Chains A and B, each alone.
Chain A
Amino acid sequence: MLEPRLVQTTFFKNVLEALSDLFIEAHFEFSRTGLELQAIDTSRVALVALVLRAEAFNHYLCDRGLSMGLNLADMAKAFRCANNDDIITIKAEEDWTDTVTFTFESPEDGEILEFDFDFVGSNGVPLEIPEYQESEYQAIVRMPSAKFMRICKKLSSFGDSGDRDPVVIISVYKERVRSFARGKTGTSTTVCLQTQTVDKPKEPTLIEMKEEVSLIFDLKYMNSFSKASTLSDQVTINLSSELPAVFECKIAELGYIRYYISPRKE
């Protein structure tokens, strides 16, 4: 029997809430080194990869690998029923039945909640994703996640053009990042400049540009990533016209969540 135990209920609640809007299923892999999660959205345009090393957990035990596809909406529902300080135990039988049991134990209330999830196909993942090289990107933008969330909120409140999927155009030029969305009767533009690190040393916006670049993304992907970005103080956006964009937030020194998004082409 395999039994990783962990106490990161709040963290997983937030991850599942962020992902379950956009991704239906995810592939989970628990190993001695930690957890790796991958999911692709139904239109196969965005891939999310979450890595959380064993050291990130208060308590983590996993003697043998445990790998499964799970429905994210069901998991989000289960985690909503759990308390934030619950201890989670994950159990799967050695002989590979096709379900996994998540047990939430509340030491304070003396209550145990148990959920069985059926394995699902997990939509063509896992994939081999090479570590990305920053030098391959035309522009790299780093900014506080709170700022990124504000920008996405502004764009999505305006960028609903009605009949088709709203998009955002992100352009980097002259050490500026411009985000643009078109609504029904007008447009919305936010321009961010590189900020002086002396004024706000803790929350700089940094723009490294090799060449000007301008890319179109579906707003729904940006919104999902902005929800996930609450897990970290900063986001990094790597942009290239040849490669999928990488939207990353690092989780302390203990892992990361990355969205790889294929840009739309005119």
Chain B
Amino acid sequence: GHKQSTITNYFIRA
């Protein structure tokens, strides 16, 4: 299977 990071791991809440 493929693992995948969520996109929110790369950005912070505004």
- Chain A residues with a Cβ under 8 A of chain B: 40, 43-47, 124, 126-129, 167, 216, 243-244, 260-266
Cβ-closest chain B residue relative to A27: B14
- Indicate which residue in A45, A128, A216, A264 contacts B7 across the interface (CB closer than 8 Å): A45
Bound form: Cα–Cα A203–B2 in Å: 35
Partner of B4, one of A127, A243, A262: A262
Interface residues on B, range: 10 to 19
> Provided the pairs A40-B8, A44-B8 are in contact, do residues A127 and B14 lie with their beta carbons within 8 angstroms?
yes
Q: What are 19 A-B contacts defined by CB distance under 8 Å? A: A40-B7, A40-B8, A44-B6, A45-B6, A46-B7, A47-B7, A47-B8, A124-B13, A126-B14, A127-B8, A127-B11, A216-B2, A244-B7, A261-B7, A262-B6, A262-B7, A262-B10, A264-B4, A265-B3
Q: Which of chain A's residues have a CB closer than 8 A to the CB of B6? A: 43-45, 262
Q: How many A-B residue pairs have CB under 8 A?
A: 51
Q: Apart from A260-B10, A265-B3, what 4 extra A-B contacts exist at CB < 8 Å?
A: A40-B7, A124-B13, A128-B14, A263-B4
List A contacts of B9 (CB < 8 A): 262
Enumerate chain B residues within 8 angstroms of A127, measured Cβ to Cβ.
8, 11-14
Q: Are A128 and B4 in contact (CB under 8 A)?
A: no
Bound CA–CA A169/B12 (angstroms): 28
A127-B4 Cα distance, complex, nearest whole Å: 19
- Residues of A with C-beta under 8 A to B3: 264-265
Cα distance A129–B12 in the bound complex, in angstroms: 7
Docked Cα-Cα span, A158 to B8, in Å, equals 31
Q: With A and B bound together, what is the CA distance between A129 and B8 in angstroms?
A: 10
Nearest-Cβ distance from residue A258 to partner chain B, whole angstroms:
12
Residues of B within 8 A of A45 (CB): 4, 6-7
